[in-house]
Amino acid sequence: MSDAEAPADEWTLPDDPRAVREALIEWYEADHRDFPWRRTDDPYEILVSEVMSQQTQLGRVVAAWEAFLEHWPTTADLADADRADIVGFWTDHSLGYNNRAKYLHEAAQQVDDEYGGDFPETPEELQELMGVGPYTANAVASFAFNDGDAVVDTNVKRVLYRAFDVPDDDATFEDAANDLMPEGRSRVWNNAIMELGGVACEQTPRCDEAGCPWREWCHAYQTGDFTAPDVPTQPSFEGSRRQFRGRVIGTLREYDELELDALGHRIRVDYVPGGEYGRDWLTELLTDLESDGLVALERDADGEHVARLRR
């Protein structure tokens, strides 16, 4: 359904919303994927899981999350760590843009310096932490403190669109999700509705196989129309800017510093100083990393540009 076909505010809850809520929570509590961050209410551990999950499949996040917390088990440990080590960990585990590691480090330092080691608890306060946007702040408030609004990600939008014919409009999705969520139960509810979208109401639905608890109310199940809002596809990592950012970080970890051409030849086989992927391309990449506070780009005694990790 397009916005032109239905005004953004045209949708209704089922006649018995309490039954809808109870059905979903009972389904989730009976059986769900056992991710380790679902077994904790530690805000630091949950923040790490949320940041890691932004660009990585959940199955791959588990090992990285456990290893990260083994290295830096508390906010204080992370705040005291060498940033280059944190960024190196991020790169080694292919966790997406490595400036997220930098932001996580800075957020830990804020918690230590500005909040005396105690995490802020509300979505508004959590957004004051470096790199923490509205979605992540609300997720931490929900899962750590059971005091958040409804979490609305791609899975939740798909569920609401199909089950209750909620129009494809971000503000309406937010309103619908919050109307559905039972008061004071944001932790279990947000986990449950995201689980529904992750294992039953996927792009290719598995209603019966997954025992979807909303089949009796679901508009899509009744009509057979399982269309849903477009889901953005993740750009290919191979050959991407993210990949070469990671290669720069990984290479500079091995050396105190490298001249541009020496670095270029180490990160891509087709590096030619004056070519399409040459000094100009590499300088632009390094300038971005410098802006993110990850790399220092300087001149040596001979006036040649050199790059090193910022520590």
CA triple 67-252-132, angle to 5 deg:
50
Query: How many whole angstroms separate alpha carbon 70 and alpha carbon 93?
Result: 14
Q: 254 forms bridges with which residues in the sheet?
A: none
Contact 105, 131 (CB under 8 A): no
Q: Compute the chain's Rg from CA coordinates.
A: 23
Active site residue 50: yes
Structure tokens at 176: 């619908």
* Annotated catalytic residue, options 29, 45, 50, 304: 50
Contact 276, 255 (CB under 8 A): no
The β-bridge partners of 307 are 258, 297
Alpha-carbon dihedral sign for residues 193, 196, 199, 202 = negative
Distance of alpha carbon 80 from alpha carbon 107, whole angstroms: 12
Report the catalytic residues.
50
